[in-house]
Structure 1
Amino acid sequence: MEFRGVIFILFLFLLIGVDSNAFPTNDLISKLPGQPDVNFRQFAGYIEVDENVDGRSLFYYFVEAEKDPLTQPLTIWLTGGPGCSSVGDAFGSVGPFIVTKDAHGLQTNSFSWNKVSNLLFIDSPIGSGWSYSNSSSDYNNRDDSTNKILLTFMQKWYEKYPVFKSKDLYMAGSSFAGHFVPNLANALLDDNKQSKQSKFNLKGLVLGNPMLRKKLDEIAKIDFFFSREMINSSLYNEIKKECNAIDENNYFSSIKTTWSAKCKNLVFEADLAAFKTDAHNYSPQKLFDVFRPPCTENELNLNLTKQVPIVSTEVDMCLPLRVQFYFNIPEVQKAFHGNRTNLSYRWQGCFTANFKYNEADKDLDMLPALKNLLQQSVPITIFSGDQDGIIPTEGTLQHLEKLAEELNIKLTKEETWSFRTKEGGLKYEFGDLLKFLTVKGVDSNAFPTNDLISKLPGQPDVNFRQFAGYIEVDENVDGRSLFYYFVEAEKDPLTQPLTIWLTGGPGCSSVGDAFGSVGPFIVTKDAHGLQTNSFSWNKVSNLLFIDSPIGSGWSYSNSSSDYNNGDDSTNKILLTFMQKWYEKYPVFKSKELYMAGSSFAGHFVPNLANALLDDNKQSKQSKFNLKGLVLGNPMLRKKLDEIAKIDFFFSREMINSSLYNEIKKECNAIDENNYFSSIKTTWSAKCKNLVFEADLAAFKTDAHNYSPQKLFDVFRPPCTENELNLNLTKQEGGLKYEFGDLLKFLTVKGGIIEESGNDCACVDSQCWSGADYGGRASSDGLDWGAGQTLPEPSRICCDARGKS
């Protein structure tokens, strides 16, 4: 009878089931001090991780998902350091609350991950947060022991919360969690293979600025400093050499290299130089965000009765200190069920006095651990804040490219991602399982401040920024530098394309040309100020003007041989310039890129465009997003352009038929076939003299009074002391030719009939000002009263003249 009664009771249990919400009541947090009301529960407490060692325990904080927690996945969050508190991190990152400004209460975190998942924060290793052991040796942590303890923790935690064992499991963390998370994930998968009970239902990893290859992350930091001109080239090159990081192969093989004392000292010297400080005043916290200052000294010396101030930046750099203040309030510790052993030290977010971690383990390569997970079809997403100076974005991307190469995974997608219409950063996808996202700092416009132009003399007020400066184009040759002028688009520069402008000559300044053609300003008539250019291309694009080759404008070299320029050397230097310019302004690497120019830029622009495309094929990193070229009066085949000039003169009766026929005969240009084949023909001295004679005859002058500037516009005299009075009266713009979908050619009429000057021609979606009456490309890229273009719908050009 008694036996049948027991069976009946068991049967009732099976029918009714156990309350799936029966989590450990001792760990339930009724309410944290200063906490707003919420509709989810929180639990916190200890899990003993070794039954044979009394007091070896990890502390945890568990938060239910806001809605339907039993249908949502579980996400484990582990913070790095090593030695930082994941539980404390919850109150300044992905948890449900943020500590208030007065550090005595909490406010809801609108970006909390518990909106979509249950969250479990674990203080690990021993000595982090409130996790402790009664054995002092347990505070000597390393990767293996930490991972073993974490595996035991997870097994025991699921015994407390069995309902989550079947739920989807995600693992996440930042910094040194680049060790903790992959190691634990592999341990869970290994446990699945050995266990006959229910399995860990691992679905994916998310890592933020993870430390994966410490020495290489240090080298990436040095690259990061140098690309932003925080250290000089001399120190940079010395570090790269001394630390065995000259080339890419060494860069990736150097992970097992033992660094010399000199290497370590140089790296520290770079830290000091980057932040313009000395060893006495330096704080590693400066590296957390290289563009924002850490908390000041008076904020670091806190006590439990002092209200914590915050730095007046968009990102609160003192939030960790406010968390530390809050966690040391006795009522908070009691509500958390924390510090049950009354630890001898105050709660700290990171690095308690007793904590130690094996230095050799910090240098371990984590790519094999990630590789093993990917081979078992575990998705991995890595995000990287682009202002982190400890584990820079560039280094992490290189690690993942190396990992993808080892797994023979190709980069399948590269694009920008956005949040609420604002661009958030770049996204890279390597196949279906590996993703990498860059995350812009709040100050995504943090371009090199040293190059920022506050205001040019005589400049009107504008709503865009300008930058100018030098890019060193050869690290091995001191002083080989190109000068640039960068202008933001008038509206939403981070959503607009980038257009590079190169002026011809060769040898003319593109930067100077900006102030007489497509740039935002035109020099005023008195030459002492600037006025806005209503046809500036920065109405629709960011603009980059580059003084190239060496010797043009302010571009220079300390080596005299560099002034002997040619197409190949110029192009090679321009390619290097672009690679380094994008390091200074990385946000534009993903933007659409257009290239434009005039005159001899008919060489520069196509050559550079081809070099960028070739670099795309060879590079494993992000590509140049080239979208198109625009060329004005380009020099494409110089000798044939000279012959075309002679035809131009003759057709307008500027030279007689006798001279014309003699030139056509002597210069091997009698018929069309010769005309186009003669590009490789060597002209005789007589031919050259006849062509010059035609120039003199065309302008009715002699060699003493002749100026090549007359060719810039054959119907207008070169500039005199009195400026020309220009007007815009012509309506017909010229002719347009289209060769398929990709090649277009537009002629632009001048104003000789009505004696007008700078004519603005509206031709479909092109607005091109001025005409080159010389029948050739202008020598200096300025068509003297001409040369202004605007790739915008024609209505803008026409509206500007009241003719929409």
Structure 2
Amino acid sequence: MEIPLLIVSLIFLCFFSSALSSSVVTYLPGFQGPLPFYLETGYVEVDQDHGGEFFYYFIESENNPAEDPLLLWLTGGPRCSAFSGLVFEIGPLKFVAAEYNGSLPSLVYHPYSWTKIANVIFLDSPLGSGFSYSRKYEGYDANDTIWSEQAYKFLIQWLVEHPQFISNPLYIAGDSYAGKIVPMVAKRILDGIDEGKEPLLNLQGYIIGNPATGGKVDKNSKISYAHSMGIISDDFFEMIQKSCSGQAYENPTTSQCQMYLNSFTNSFLSEINEAHILEMYCPECRWKPLSSRASTTSGKRILKENQNILHPPLFPDQNCRCYVYALAYYWANNDIVRTALNVKKTTIWSLQGFFIPSGDHDLVVPFSGTKQWIKSLNSSIMEGWRSWHVGGQVAGYTMTYSNNLTFATVKGAGHTAPEYQPQECLAMIMRWISGELL
């Protein structure tokens, strides 16, 4: 028997107490004129004991908000701001890559935003990323399990205040390190439904792009991918294989294996752009995820070791893709911007069925490792390897499996595929969400 939406919403409110503050943003500094879409920002308390609050940006679908999917977007790192997803990947804003002269960087409308077809929540998570914060140091002590649980709690609290979206098709999405967290959040939603603790959320699937799957798979695939792309020679690859005896390159047990791995890193990886091996190498923005620089076992140590995130970044060459990342820092930490976004003054911004799209020129998390991880699931292949197209041209390659999994490569894309091939990725997600073949 179906329960009317009004009754469901009231039951929802009985089970969950709301702790949300939000505001509608109609103008943003650096953008000419009123925003051509609905933007809401706000905070949701996810850790009552330590005073932890997640900051979010919510953008309504530019098509049909009442019926279009609701997508919760998590960014990797860990502790990279979801603002990067908004302005560099799938959101309706982009920075103008003009030379920085001390004035506020400019923003323009991005025509290939996923908000063309979906309502999107960009969530700064875990605590310590973007404008999300904790009043106590201990609140930053968030492992993957805590992060996923708090993201789930955020979603429930947010829907308490936005009950009109409860029945919309729901997708959990993210890329890079968030590839570990997104499935955990989806599983938590399913568990909650099975336990009957809240009304049936209309979870339809999840999306993970160039996802981190684990040190063993990811590290091993970097070496084999580098070999397949001509970055290391046959002889060097064979020496690594021989000296490491097939062990996980993540934790070498012999000095000879370690020596070759150090050479791989220092002599080869150090001079290319790992996020996109064909793009310009820019040492100022060499790929260094926060997880490699700070432990997540101590909130105090996280803050102490990463004071560099509170200081202005070095500007790379203007031809570098990451030039706009520096612009984002100056824009997001401007007092006028923070006032427009209704950001709390105690925070400082820092950047750092299911579907798996992978940029095929990514050496941070190579697509070959993702394929290996998928193979380990032992799912039957429903549709074999084939090309998919946009505008009459090959946009990548795809396979589908019996467990409702779709894997797709995005030709020419780097570590965050929509950043590199936005038109193709929008076409891809439109087809997948609508149930069409890629």
Under a length normalisation based on structure 1, what TM-score does the superposition of the two structures give?
0.43
8 Å CA contact retained: 2:360, 2:411 = yes
TM superposition shift of 1:99: 1.3
Supply the AA of the counterpart residue of 1:141: A
Supply the AA of the counterpart residue of 1:272: N
**Distance between the aligned counterparts of 1:299 and 1:226, measured in 2?**
21
TM superposition shift of 1:187: 0.5
Supply the AA of the counterpart residue of 2:96: T
Question: Which residue number corresponds to residue 431 of structure 2?
Answer: none
Question: Which residue number corresponds to residue 96 of structure 1?
Answer: 92
1:784-795 matches, cutoff 5 A = none
**Distance between the aligned counterparts of 1:349 and 1:128, measured in 2?**
7
**Distance between the aligned counterparts of 2:313 and 2:231, measured in 1?**
36
Supply the AA of the counterpart residue of 1:430: Y
Supply the AA of the counterpart residue of 2:42: G
Task: Give the one of 270, 275, 278 matched to 2:264.
Answer: 270
TM superposition shift of 1:129: 0.9
**Distance between the aligned counterparts of 1:235 and 1:259, measured in 2?**
17
Question: Which residue number corresponds to residue 394 of structure 2?
Answer: 423
Question: Which residue number corresponds to residue 127 of structure 2?
Answer: 126
8 Å CA contact retained: 2:94, 2:108 = yes
8 Å CA contact retained: 1:95, 1:112 = yes
8 Å CA contact retained: 1:230, 1:273 = no
TM superposition shift of 1:342: 2.3
TM superposition shift of 1:410: 2.3
**Distance between the aligned counterparts of 1:195 and 1:260, measured in 2?**
48
Question: Which residue number corresponds to residue 49 of structure 1?
Answer: 46
Gap change, CA 1:32 and 1:65, over 3 Å in 2 = same
**Distance between the aligned counterparts of 1:136 and 1:235, measured in 2?**
46
1:438-587 matches, cutoff 5 A = 438-441=409-412
Question: Which residue number corresponds to residue 212 of structure 1?
Answer: 213
Question: Which residue number corresponds to residue 556 of structure 1?
Answer: none
**Distance between the aligned counterparts of 2:184 and 2:355, measured in 1?**
16
**Distance between the aligned counterparts of 1:270 and 1:164, measured in 2?**
49
Task: Give the one of 364, 372, 380 matched to 1:398.
Answer: 372
**Distance between the aligned counterparts of 1:200 and 1:95, measured in 2?**
24
TM superposition shift of 1:322: 2.2
- The unaligned stretches of length 5 or more in structure 1 are 1-13, 15-23, 278-284, 351-378, 444-804
Supply the AA of the counterpart residue of 1:348: S
Gap change, CA 1:157 and 1:213, over 3 Å in 2 = same
Identity %: 29
Instruction: Please give the per-residue CA displacement for 1:430-477, whole angstroms capped at 9, x wherever unaligned.
Output: 23711111111169xxxxxxxxxxxxxxxxxxxxxxxxxxxxxxxxxx
Question: Which residue number corresponds to residue 277 of structure 2?
Answer: 290
Question: Which residue number corresponds to residue 319 of structure 1?
Answer: 324
Q: Which has the higher contact order (CA 8 A, sep 6+)?
A: 2
8 Å CA contact retained: 1:43, 1:63 = yes
8 Å CA contact retained: 2:87, 2:94 = yes
TM superposition shift of 1:326: 1.6
**Distance between the aligned counterparts of 1:120 and 1:341, measured in 2?**
22
8 Å CA contact retained: 1:299, 1:308 = no
1:104-253 matches, cutoff 5 A = 104-245=105-246
8 Å CA contact retained: 2:397, 2:408 = yes
Instruction: Please give the per-residue CA displacement for 1:109-155, whole angstroms capped at 9, x wherever unaligned.
Output: 11100000000011111111111112212223211111121121111
**Distance between the aligned counterparts of 1:224 and 1:49, measured in 2?**
40
8 Å CA contact retained: 2:244, 2:254 = no
TM superposition shift of 1:302: 12
Question: Which residue number corresponds to residue 64 of structure 1?
Answer: 60
Q: Tell me, what secondary structure is at the counterpart of 1:71?
A: coil
8 Å CA contact retained: 1:150, 1:184 = yes
Gap change, CA 1:51 and 1:330, over 3 Å in 2 = same
Q: Tell me, what secondary structure is at the counterpart of 2:201?
A: coil
Instruction: Please give the per-residue CA displacement for 1:13-35, whole angstroms capped at 9, x wherever unaligned.
Output: x9xxxxxxxxx884211311122
Supply the AA of the counterpart residue of 1:62: F
- The unaligned stretches of length 5 or more in structure 2 are 1-9, 11-19, 99-103, 288-307, 415-438
Gap change, CA 1:387 and 1:61, over 3 Å in 2 = same
CA RMSD of aligned residues (A): 3.1
Supply the AA of the counterpart residue of 1:274: F
Gap change, CA 1:206 and 1:342, over 3 Å in 2 = same
TM superposition shift of 1:388: 0.6
Instruction: Please give the per-residue CA displacement for 1:698-754, whole angstroms capped at 9, x wherever unaligned.
Output: xxxxxxxxxxxxxxxxxxxxxxxxxxxxxxxxxxxxxxxxxxxxxxxxxxxxxxxxx
Q: Tell me, what secondary structure is at the counterpart of 1:77?
A: strand
Gap change, CA 1:268 and 1:421, over 3 Å in 2 = farther
TM superposition shift of 1:258: 4.6
Supply the AA of the counterpart residue of 1:384: S
8 Å CA contact retained: 1:63, 1:114 = yes
**Distance between the aligned counterparts of 2:136 and 2:243, measured in 1?**
41
Q: Tell me, what secondary structure is at the counterpart of 1:126?
A: coil
Structure label with greater radius of gyration: 1
Instruction: Please give the per-residue CA displacement for 1:173-218, whole angstroms capped at 9, x wherever unaligned.
Output: 1101111100100011101111343122110111110011222111
TM superposition shift of 1:424: 0.9
Question: Which residue number corresponds to residue 386 of structure 1?
Answer: 360
1:647-658 matches, cutoff 5 A = none
Q: Tell me, what secondary structure is at the counterpart of 2:47?
A: coil
8 Å CA contact retained: 1:304, 1:328 = no
**Distance between the aligned counterparts of 1:138 and 1:25, measured in 2?**
20
TM superposition shift of 1:159: 1.2
**Distance between the aligned counterparts of 2:309 and 2:138, measured in 1?**
31
Q: Tell me, what secondary structure is at the counterpart of 2:66?
A: helix
Question: Which residue number corresponds to residue 335 of structure 2?
Answer: 330
Question: Which residue number corresponds to residue 5 of structure 2?
Answer: none
Gap change, CA 1:332 and 1:162, over 3 Å in 2 = same
Supply the AA of the counterpart residue of 2:80: C
8 Å CA contact retained: 2:22, 2:43 = no
TM superposition shift of 1:320: 2.1
Q: Tell me, what secondary structure is at the counterpart of 2:325?
A: helix
Supply the AA of the counterpart residue of 1:45: G
Question: Which residue number corresponds to residue 342 of structure 1?
Answer: 346
8 Å CA contact retained: 2:131, 2:349 = yes
**Distance between the aligned counterparts of 2:383 and 2:285, measured in 1?**
50
Supply the AA of the counterpart residue of 1:227: S
Gap change, CA 1:309 and 1:237, over 3 Å in 2 = closer
Q: Tell me, what secondary structure is at the counterpart of 1:157?
A: helix
**Distance between the aligned counterparts of 2:335 and 2:62, measured in 1?**
28
Gap change, CA 1:123 and 1:25, over 3 Å in 2 = closer
